[in-house]
Amino acid sequence: MRKGTPVWDIYKLLTPYGISITECSQEDNYDVILGIDDFIRDKKRFDGKNKILYCGSIIECPQSIHNNDFKSFVVISNYFLNLLKNDIIDASKSNIIHMVGGLPCDPNMEPCLETRKIEQPLQILTIAKYWKRPFKRMRQTVKFFNEYFLKAYPGSILHIIGAFASETNRVGNVIYYSKSHHNTKYIDIFKKCHLQLILTPFDTGPKTLCESLHYRVPFLASRNSAAPEFIDMLGNCGKVIDIDPYIDSMEKYRSIDPMNNKRYYDKELDYEQILASARNIIDNFG
């Protein structure tokens, strides 16, 4: 199994059942394959029929694999599961494991048990990883914050975790943090923020939704994600926004290619709509 942020989730989920987790680049005795890319790259080595596959990214979903190839097939959200049905998943099979919710990337992130209050000045959070994931829309997030949000809520601060800055750098009311952010700084930022903006055009999770819920930080996220099912389960925890066409099938996903098509993910957004949704959360979240 290759390293990655979902490792802790899989470890917590599977170790009570006596399933071992090791890194496939170092060991041959493993039970879990984390990522279809590992399977495709080293297919001769994998005996998929006896392995559990964790599929966390839609990028890892070529049509050449199927859940019948594995002992179990783990997905991160119902939204993702529904996309994969009739494509690479046979829904009639009983080997599908849906990880509801999940856990934060850092095991040191203790859950917030207190009622969070939104107070001025507002602290806004986004997680960009812009150096390798430009589809996270950091540019549009900064534009929205500077040109729209600050006018409505003067004095607010935007925290961007995982930006391309090599160290913490502040430009006006925007603070950029380095990509090495899974540490106490990461946890401290979550603890003090009032809203997380997730303007990504598509996500199978995203993982940061789990972390928002962990710290009772409401989120504003695209409908093309697991955000609607979190709201259905938990109620007043965030809001979804229709800033992109709804992707309801793998065929539509492949035709749009939202995470690779720069003309699509780099387009200007309806910033007034985003502001209205953010204002709704700020006025009603308790």
Q: How far apart are CA 123 and CA 110, in angstroms?
A: 20
Contacts 24+ apart (CB under 8 A), 113-120: 114/216, 115/216, 115/286, 116/194, 116/215, 116/216, 116/217, 116/285, 117/286, 118/194, 118/195, 118/282, 118/285, 119/194, 120/153, 120/155
In the predicted structure, residue 2 carries a pLDDT above the cut 90: no
pLDDT of residue 139: 92
pLDDT of residue 280: 93
Exposed / middle / buried, residue 165 (Cβ in 10 Å: 0-12, 13-18, 19+): middle
Handedness of CA 129, 132, 136, 139 (dihedral sign): positive
Percent of the chain with pLDDT over 70: 66
Exposed / middle / buried, residue 77 (Cβ in 10 Å: 0-12, 13-18, 19+): buried
Grade residue 3 by pLDDT with cuts at 50, 70 and 90: very low
pLDDT of residue 22: 46
Grade residue 206 by pLDDT with cuts at 50, 70 and 90: confident
In the predicted structure, residue 149 carries a pLDDT above the cut 60: yes
pLDDT of residue 45: 53
**pLDDT tens digit string along 90-107?**
777 777 777 665 555 566
In angstroms, the first-to-last Cα distance of the chain is: 41
* Mean pLDDT over the full length of the chain: 77
Percent of the chain with pLDDT over 90: 32
pLDDT of residue 71: 75
In the predicted structure, residue 209 carries a pLDDT above the cut 80: yes
Q: How far apart are CA 50 and CA 32, in angstroms?
A: 9
Amino acid at 90: D
User: For residue 41, is it left (φ>0), alpha (ψ between -120 and 50) or beta?
Assistant: alpha
**pLDDT tens digit string along 234-278?**
788 899 999 999 999 888 998 999 988 999 999 999 999 999 999
Quote the distance between the C-alpha of residue 209 and its chain's center.
6
In the sheet with 72-75, reading across from the earlier edge strand, the strands are: 32-34, 52-55, 72-75, 96-98
User: For residue 137, is it left (φ>0), alpha (ψ between -120 and 50) or beta?
Assistant: left
Residues in the chain: 286
Highest mean pLDDT among 111-120, 129-138, 196-205: 196-205
Kind and range of the H or E run holding 110: none
Q: Structure tokens of 147?
A: 């040109």
What angle separates helix 227-234 from helix 207-214, to the nearest 10 degrees? 30
Quote the distance between the C-alpha of residue 127 and its chain's center.
9
pLDDT of residue 124: 96
pLDDT of residue 49: 63
Amino acid at 245: P
Q: Structure tokens of 41?
A: 């790259």
Which position has the higher pLDDT, 143 or 106?
143
The beta strand positions in the chain, using DSSP E, are 32-34, 52-55, 72-75, 96-98, 123-127, 157-161, 169-171, 174-176, 195-198, 219-222, 238-241
In the predicted structure, residue 27 carries a pLDDT above the cut 50: no
pLDDT of residue 196: 94
**Burial per residue of 136-158, b for 16 or more beta-carbon CB atoms within 10 angstroms, e otherwise:** bbbebbbebbeeebbeebeebbb
pLDDT of residue 4: 44
Grade residue 1 by pLDDT with cuts at 50, 70 and 90: very low
pLDDT of residue 140: 95
